[in-house]
Amino acid sequence: MLVNVPTDSDFSIHNLPFGIFSDSNNQTPRVGVAIGDQILDLHVLASAGLFEGCGEFSQNAVKGSLNDFMGYTSKEWRFVRQQISEFLTNDSHAVRLALPRHGLEALVEQSDSTMHLPCKIGDYTDFYASKEHATNVGTMFRGKDNALNPNWKHLPIGYHGRASSVVVSDTPITRPMGQRVLKMGEPPQFGPCMKMDFELEMALLVGKGNKLGDRIDIKDANEYIFGVVLMNDWSARDIQAWEYVPLGPFLGKNFGTTISPWVVTLDALEPFLVDIPTQDPTPLEYLQDSSKSGYDINLTVSIKPETSERYTTLSKSNLKYMYWSLKQQLTHHTVGGCNMNPGDLIGTGTISGPTPDSFGSMLELSWNGSNKICVNDENPEDFRCFLNDYDTIKLSGHCEKNGIRVGFGDCVGQILPAKTQ
Amino acid sequence: MLVNVPTDSDFSIHNLPFGIFSDSNNQTPRVGVAIGDQILDLHVLASAGLFEGCGEFSQNAVKGSLNDFMGYTSKEWRFVRQQISEFLTNDSHAVRLALPRHGLEALVEQSDSTMHLPCKIGDYTDFYASKEHATNVGTMFRGKDNALNPNWKHLPIGYHGRASSVVVSDTPITRPMGQRVLKMGEPPQFGPCMKMDFELEMALLVGKGNKLGDRIDIKDANEYIFGVVLMNDWSARDIQAWEYVPLGPFLGKNFGTTISPWVVTLDALEPFLVDIPTQDPTPLEYLQDSSKSGYDINLTVSIKPETSERYTTLSKSNLKYMYWSLKQQLTHHTVGGCNMNPGDLIGTGTISGPTPDSFGSMLELSWNGSNKICVNDENPEDFRCFLNDYDTIKLSGHCEKNGIRVGFGDCVGQILPAKTQ
């Protein structure tokens, strides 16, 4: 093995996620693969001939986004991943032996690198696919008996989000200004969001697309999914509450959405497939899928207040709780003929689990401000209902089974104060 | 004048809208300006040196989209338009005289051309800015006393739409399949949309953008608007009705949105500025604007059923009825820091007038199926409540004042049958 990977690393040889990076020696963003604490520079490997035989990947590895590669077939994605795996594990690999002769260095330290958005995101959609989350929100605002809307169990509810404001992990997020109602029944006032929140989500990135008017059959859906990232769908609850009837969330969401930089492929996640929760009523035929389509991915949200040096855990959840699968979301999205393009982002919606310590937002954890949440293990006096300025939120996620670990790295963002002028 | 422009032409010398075209002699999409029945080929004019002195426009005129040009300042947009105006009107213009010497032909027949999308649309937003439309829809579904939601008069309600399925005029639209409830209270069924509708809209295309976290002040808003097009926001009313609570329209809209190909600049529309309707209550300060910001633009919707050779008028409306101005829409959109990019599309929502013959959708014209609408002047037996397969809908719009006419051309789309397999 070329790289020594610690056993608790998210980026084992079983993972090999793709991302776009630059480093102090070469500031051109290019395709890399995370391995342990390192990044394998695919630009270098392409120039050394590792991807000969794989169409135009040698050229595309040079580019500053994954879109072209995403548009390949799943067979081609696999070929590239297989070449990389062999390069890393075969100590007598011809390309490996040739690199020093050409003065090439294939590895870059992650700590010396800057990560960029993995692709240009043409369209971004967010679903609402966790029954626990939808039930919590519904219970808060409509009472326990009407928690789930009549449509919720028949289709994956979703909405179009803002693609331009999707940013990569470590980008600061400015608290939005906006209209919110301070006292029920009174006119709205303009000012900084007072109910700033995170949402623990994952998201798929579309691989090859479909044409306008065509649809993706559920049995083929995985062929259209390039991979998965963590996503924090930052939410301004007070702005959202005032604006969202009847056309849905708008300014309450479009000031920023953070994704993790490393795209973990479905192939890497395959060992962690599990059944999704029982769906009752049985969905309509186009959404029916007898294969395993849930993923056992442990998810953690932690917070670092301005006054603290360390993170405190806010929530532990798991993607396996999600009611509607990724395949069902993608299939439903295209059933009316909506066209997908490589790099489109499709979020799951907040992934809450069944117990209060697994809820995926401050809205749920604090039950819309009724409970104060401790945000600092070392200082039980430091609590809040929503996020303060300079709070940093970190999402992390990993799978583990039979000694194999595949993780997502971190998805981090810090809240900056609103620009009041 | 280089071109003889009929008095009823949308494309007078006062208009000079920008678009992307190709023709049988040169199939490369490139920038053109409509004049009478002709297109002025800016690629040719750039190569003849007409735009020297205007930054990189000479290169950008060659491109197959307007995005780069849109990202210029309004001063630069004006300079280019001024150069074109002089070229057309000055019979001794040096570039005009030089063209034949170089064997160059600056004009192409519109009838011999294919129009393309004017730009790559990064994000598409649709507002709901007509009080008449919102009141009609609200009355139908919630009764007259609760027609407008409490937020409606305080902010321009809007939602994010699907950018990938925005198409240019003359692209056929496939009737979507989807879930809809046939009988209230019963489970949904899967099948072709049974309430296919158009929406008469206009839309602005963003010029230069703003950075994430910044906002556009209302007094500067026009500097960020490159121009305006007609838009048909095709709607599947039955699919929309079932899915839209609580996150807004999704598959009911994202199967296709049609825009007209020629982008009419705000400069061309300036003579037709009028006051917007009185806003009561006075909006919050960031939305206040004492300048004239409405536009007197006559809008017509007509239909051509499969059995007919000619169009029959369905509705006549006007942009001047719209409650929230284009400037207010753009300002509100960015007030929380949402970033705009050149070429982003922002629709007005359905533009309905005060009388039933000015309603901008079949939903309103037929009052959700209660009234049958004649779709063929020559056959009073040909009526319907929503659109049939092979119906063609045409939107058109023009301004006229003191003998000056500025128009938008047509925005056309035909409904094709659903793909049931």
Condensed to tens digits (0 to 9), the pLDDT of residues B103-161 reads 889 999 999 999 999 999 999 999 999 999 999 999 998 899 989 999 999 999 999 99
Q: Which residues of A touch B340 (CB under 8 A)?
A: 164
Confidence band, pLDDT 50/70/90 cuts, at residue A1: confident
| Cross-chain Cβ contact B255/A214 below 8 Å | no
Residue A94 domain flag: yes
Q: Which residues of B touch A123 (CB under 8 A)?
A: 162-164
Residue-averaged pLDDT of chain A: 96
Q: Are residues A52 and A159 in the same domain?
A: no
Confidence band, pLDDT 50/70/90 cuts, at residue B54: confident
What's the confidence (pLDDT) of residue B401? 97
CB of B200 closer than 8 Å to CB of B154 = no
d(CA A68, CA B275): 48
Which helix (H) or strand (E) is A76 found in, with range?
helix A74-89
Q: Are residues A266 and A410 in the same domain?
A: yes
Residue-averaged pLDDT of chain B: 96
Tokens of B25: 């002699």
Q: Are residues B73 and B208 in the same domain?
A: no
What's the confidence (pLDDT) of residue B340? 98
Q: Are residues B102 and B168 in the same domain?
A: no
Q: Which residues of B touch A286 (CB under 8 A)?
A: 190
Q: Are residues B173 and B202 in the same domain?
A: yes
**pLDDT above 90 for B219:** yes
Q: What is the pTM of this model?
A: 0.98
Confidence band, pLDDT 50/70/90 cuts, at residue B38: very high
What's the confidence (pLDDT) of residue A63? 82
User: In Å, how far are B239, B247, B388, B421 from B190, measured between CA atoms?
Assistant: 10, 21, 18, 12
**pLDDT above 90 for A141:** no
What's the confidence (pLDDT) of residue A4? 93
Q: Shortest Cα distance from B362 to chain A (angstroms)?
A: 19
d(CA B126, CA B345): 8
- The residue among A116, A135, A152 that closes a domain is A116
CB of B129 closer than 8 Å to CB of B324 = yes
Residue with tokens 């509450």: A241
What's the confidence (pLDDT) of residue B57? 74
H helical segments located in B8-162: 42-47, 57-60, 67-70, 74-89, 94-98, 131-142
Confidence band, pLDDT 50/70/90 cuts, at residue B271: very high
* SS3 category, A414: strand
Residue A224 domain flag: yes
| Cross-chain Cβ contact B212/A164 below 8 Å | yes
The fraction of chain B above a pLDDT of 70, given in percent, is 99
What's the confidence (pLDDT) of residue A298? 98
What's the confidence (pLDDT) of residue A102? 83
Q: Shortest Cα distance from B377 to chain A (angstroms)?
A: 32
First and final C-alpha spacing in chain A: 55
Q: Are residues B71 and B135 in the same domain?
A: no
Tell how strand A200-206 and strand A264-265 pair up: unpaired
**pLDDT above 90 for A309:** yes
Q: Are residues B289 and B391 in the same domain?
A: yes
**pLDDT above 90 for B225:** yes
Q: Are residues B212 and B106 in the same domain?
A: no
For the residues B148-177, what does the mean pLDDT come to? 98
Q: Which of A136, A206, A280, A338 to mutate to test the interface with B (most CBs of B within 10 A)?
A: A338
Q: Which of A124, A139, A251, A348 to mutate to test the interface with B (most CBs of B within 10 A)?
A: A251
* SS3 category, B180: strand
Q: Which residues of B touch A213 (CB under 8 A)?
A: 174, 255, 416, 419
| Cross-chain Cβ contact B248/A251 below 8 Å | no
CB of B70 closer than 8 Å to CB of B205 = yes
d(CA A61, CA A30): 7
**pLDDT above 90 for A316:** yes
Give the pLDDT confidence of A60-80 residue by residue, as tens digits. 666 899 999 999 999 999 999
Q: Are residues A288 and A400 in the same domain?
A: yes
CATH code for position A27: 2.30.30.230
d(CA B280, CA B402): 32
Q: Are residues B179 and B323 in the same domain?
A: yes
Residue A49 domain flag: yes
Q: Shortest Cα distance from B194 to chain A (angstroms)?
A: 13
Residue with tokens 């004239």: B292
User: In Å, how far are A153, A158, B10 from A281, measured between CA atoms?
Assistant: 7, 19, 55
d(CA B88, CA B83): 9
CB of B319 closer than 8 Å to CB of B295 = yes
For residue B269, the one-letter residue type is L
What's the confidence (pLDDT) of residue B264? 98
Determine how many CB atoms are found less than 10 A away from the CB of residue B322. 32
What's the confidence (pLDDT) of residue A142? 87
**pLDDT above 90 for B53:** no
Across A54-68, A256-270, B58-72, least confident range: A54-68
CB of B308 closer than 8 Å to CB of B394 = no
Give the pLDDT confidence of B368-407 residue by residue, as tens digits. 999 999 999 999 899 999 999 999 999 999 999 999 999 9
**pLDDT above 90 for B1:** no
Preceding peptide of B281 cis, ω within 30°:
yes
Count contacts between A and B (CB, < 8 Å): 193
- The residue among A116, A150, A165 that closes a domain is A116
* Nearest C-alpha in A relative to B193: A336
What's the confidence (pLDDT) of residue B379? 92
* Nearest C-alpha in A relative to B147: A246
Residue A11 domain flag: no
Give the pLDDT confidence of A158-175 residue by residue, as tens digits. 999 999 999 999 999 999
d(CA B348, CA B343): 16
Q: Which of B247, B257, B350, B389 to mutate to test the interface with A (most CBs of A within 10 A)?
A: B247
Residue with tokens 């449509």: A151
- The residue among A116, A134, A161 that closes a domain is A116
**pLDDT above 80 for B97:** yes
d(CA A309, CA A10): 23
Q: Shortest Cα distance from A213 to chain B (angstroms)?
A: 6
What's the confidence (pLDDT) of residue A78? 94
H helical segments located in B263-397: 266-269, 326-334, 362-365
For the residues A46-57, what does the mean pLDDT come to? 82
d(CA A188, CA A123): 31
* Phi and psi at residue A243, to the nearest 5°: -95, -20
| Cross-chain Cβ contact B251/A333 below 8 Å | yes
| Cross-chain Cβ contact B178/A344 below 8 Å | no
User: In Å, how far are A105, A214, B272, B417 from B255, measured between CA atoms?
Assistant: 48, 10, 34, 13
* Nearest C-alpha in A relative to B333: A251
Q: Which residues of A touch B339 (CB under 8 A)?
A: 164-165
What's the confidence (pLDDT) of residue A104? 85
CB of B232 closer than 8 Å to CB of B202 = no
What range defines the domain where residue A202 resides?
124-416
The answer on whether A310 is annotated among ligand-binding residues is no
CATH code for position B385: 3.90.850.10
* Nearest C-alpha in A relative to B174: A213
Residue with tokens 């070429």: B343
Preceding peptide of A150 cis, ω within 30°:
no
CB nearest A338 (choices: B188, B251, B340): B251
Q: Shortest Cα distance from B412 to chain A (angstroms)?
A: 17
Q: Are residues A158 and A282 in the same domain?
A: yes
Q: Which residues of A touch B134 (CB under 8 A)?
A: none
Tokens of B393: 């809908």
d(CA A67, CA B29): 23
CA A163 to chain centre: 14
Per the structure, the count of domains in chain A is: 2
Residue A289 domain flag: yes
d(CA B242, CA B188): 8
HSE on the CB side for B249, CA within 13 Å? 24
Residue A170 domain flag: yes
Which DSSP symbol is given to B290?
-
**pLDDT above 80 for B186:** yes
| Cross-chain Cβ contact B123/A340 below 8 Å | no
Tokens of B86: 């002089």
**pLDDT above 80 for A421:** no
Tokens of A353: 């689990």
Least Cα distance to B331 among B297, B291, B275 occurs for: B291
Q: How are the residues of chain A apportioned to helix, strand and coil, as percentages rounded to the nearest 5?
A: 25, 30, 50
Residue with tokens 């959109």: B333
Give the pLDDT confidence of B231-240 residue by residue, as tens digits. 999 999 999 9
| Cross-chain Cβ contact B255/A338 below 8 Å | yes
CB nearest A251 (choices: B165, B242, B336): B336
Q: Please state the ipTM of this predicted complex.
A: 0.97
For residue A291, the one-letter residue type is S
* Nearest C-alpha in A relative to B179: A155
Q: Shortest Cα distance from A22 to chain B (angstroms)?
A: 22
What's the confidence (pLDDT) of residue B421? 76
Determine how many CB atoms are found less than 10 A away from the CB of residue A67. 21
CB nearest B336 (choices: A188, A254, A335): A254
CB of A269 closer than 8 Å to CB of A228 = yes
The answer to whether A133 is a known catalytic residue is yes
Residue B387 domain flag: yes
Residue with tokens 């509705």: B315
Which DSSP symbol is given to A375?
-
For the residues A343-359, what does the mean pLDDT come to? 98
User: In Å, how far are A12, A234, A387, A417 from A384, measured between CA atoms?
Assistant: 37, 17, 7, 16
Residue with tokens 């991302």: A19
* SS3 category, B303: strand
CB of A114 closer than 8 Å to CB of A21 = yes
Residue with tokens 């969401």: A253
Tokens of A147: 């928690």
Least Cα distance to A133 among A383, A348, A396 occurs for: A348
CB of A319 closer than 8 Å to CB of A296 = yes
Residue B13 domain flag: no
Q: Are residues B50 and B186 in the same domain?
A: no
Residue A70: is it exposed, middle or buried by C-beta count within 10 angstroms (0-12/13-18/19+)? buried
For residue A380, the one-letter residue type is P
